[in-house]
Amino acid sequence: MRITPRNILRHELIGLEAEVIDSPNKCLVGIKGLILDETRNTLLLGEPGGSKKRVLKHLAVFRIKLPDGTVVRVDGRVLVGAPEDRLKKRVYRW
Interacting residue ranges for another protein, rule: CB under 8 A: 1, 7, 10-12, 14-15, 36-38, 48-49, 82-85, 87-88
CB of 18 to another protein, least distance (A): 14
Nearest 10 degrees: Cα torsion 74, 36, 12, 78: -30
Q: How far apart are CA 91 and CA 94, in angstroms?
A: 7
Please say which residue, 82 or 91, places its beta carbon nearer to another protein: 82
Q: What are the beta bridge partners of residue 18?
A: 33, 64
Please say which residue, 87 or 91, places its beta carbon nearer to another protein: 87
Please say which residue, 25 or 40, places its beta carbon nearer to another protein: 40
Find all residues with CB under 8 Å of 52, minimum gap 6, and list them.
33, 36, 44, 45, 46
CB of 60 to another protein, least distance (A): 21
Query: How would you class 62 by CB atoms within 10 Å of its CB: exposed for 0-12, middle for 13-18, buried for 19 or more?
Result: buried
Please say which residue, 22 or 37, places its beta carbon nearer to another protein: 37
CB of 51 to another protein, least distance (A): 13
